[in-house]
Amino acid sequence: MFDNVIIGVDDPEGGRDALALARQLASPDGDLTLAYVQVVMPRPDEDSGAASLAADRRPALQRLVSLRDTSHLDARVLAIQARSVAAGLHELASRRDADLLVIGASRRDPYERMLVRDDTRAVLENPPCPVAVAPLGYARRASGLDRIGAGYDGSPESERALGLARELARELGGRVSAFRAVPEPVRVRDAWDPQPEIDEGVAQARRRLAELGDLEPYAASADDAAEALARYGTSVDLLVVGSHEYRPIDHLLSGSTAQRLADDAPCPLIVLCCAAR
């Protein structure tokens, strides 16, 4: 469970989704903060603009207080200003030494994501702490986190993801599973019938997962890890994945695996920050 949780709130529906997930992941005595980021551009005369910016924050604070009170949540509220939503939440998480940042999933469609910077994706670019993403409408269907899954490929990042999944399962009384997306073989003995080798690769991956002990092993052949993880996510209540440092090529490739998974995650998602942080 997480002791110091920041909940990023933009629109009311997304805020309720994020809040519902934060309730499940926060420690009973955890420190919770509801935060709204007002995006502002630098102004030539900061003194003259200070009063105006303070006035702009008041409606946001009122909305946060209303959300907190109607949810019967013990939390502080903050309305901050930054050059972007991601920059504001990252700075706040770093300053408060948060161990989890919770946000709602994006409400943009794929076409909009190509034209407009997506806040959810931006928050997942090199965050200072793990980020939990609540899927659309989660507040209306939140249930227990009984089945906790981890994306696993043998990398250090996936080892950390599996470690957190095990820890959460112990604390929540749930069970753990792990999934590996197996790339199709580049070379096969029979180009007309590659299926036997594909099946053997999947079976081998499942055996290796089983050797990790005390988990349900799953594997599937897939050229796209994000799509495979999304299908696997329909079988769990929470999915934990690792991440690497965001690279410019990730933008050219339509986003990192974690970002693409967060676009339409079928279940709540926790994305770990890269190990270098």
Last residue of a domain, one of 102, 117, 142: 142
Residue ranges making up the domain that contains 265:
144-277
Q: Are residues 274 and 166 in the same domain?
A: yes
For residues 83 and 175, membership in a common domain is answered with no
For residue 215, give the nearest of 150, 161, 160, 145 by alpha carbon. Answer: 150
What is the rounded average pLDDT of the residues 116-141? 90
Of the listed ranges 13-27, 32-46, 63-77, 91-105, the least confidently predicted one is 32-46
The pLDDT value recorded for residue 118 is 85
Q: How far is CA 59 from the centre of its chain?
A: 28
Average pLDDT, the chain: 87
Rounded mean pLDDT, 53-62: 76
User: Are residues 132 and 157 located together in one domain of the fold?
Assistant: no
Q: What is the pTM of this model?
A: 0.89
**162 to each of 7, 101, 179, 182, 229, how far by Cα in Å?**
24, 19, 10, 17, 14
| Rg from Cα positions in the chain | 20
Domain boundary among 81, 110, 142: 142
CATH of the domain at 173: 3.40.50.620
Q: Under a CB-based contact definition with an 8 Å cutoff, are residues 215 and 249 in contact? A: no
Question: Which residue(s) pair with 241 in the sheet?
Answer: 271
Examine the domain organization and report whether 157 and 206 are in the same domain. yes
In this prediction, residue 115 carries a pLDDT of: 47
**Is residue 44 over pLDDT 50?**
no
Q: Across-strand partners of 219?
A: 180
* Cβ 103 vs Cβ 18: under 8 Å: yes
pLDDT on residue 195 = 80
Confidence of residue 11 (pLDDT cuts 50, 70, 90): confident
Same domain, 132 and 175: no
* The residue type at 201: G
pLDDT at 110 over 70: no
Residues 110 and 178 in one domain: no
Note whether 177 and 130 are same-domain residues. no
1 and 126 in a single domain? The answer is yes
Phi/psi at 144 (5° precision): -65, 150
Give the integer Cα–Cα distance in Å for 96 and 9: 17
Pair (167, 242) in one structural domain: yes
Which of helix, strand or coil describes residue 193? coil
Task: List residues bridging with 132 in a β-sheet.
Answer: 102, 270
Lowest mean pLDDT segment, chosen from 26-35, 41-50, 230-239, 251-260: 41-50
Alpha carbons 192 and 160: distance in angstroms, whole number: 39
How many domains is the chain partitioned into structurally? 2
157 shares its domain with 46: no
pLDDT per residue as tens digits for the range 180-232: 999 877 666 666 777 888 889 999 999 999 999 999 999 999 889 999 999 99
Query: End of a domain among 99, 115, 142?
Result: 142
DSSP state of 253: T
Note the pLDDT of residue 40: 87
Q: Is 71's pLDDT higher than 90? A: no
Structure tokens, 91: 């700075």
Residue 183 has what pLDDT?
Answer: 87
Q: Residue 248: pLDDT band by 50, 70, 90 thresholds?
A: low
Residues 13 and 128 in one domain: yes
Pairing of strands 269-271, 131-134: antiparallel
Whether residue 170 is found in the same domain as residue 218: yes
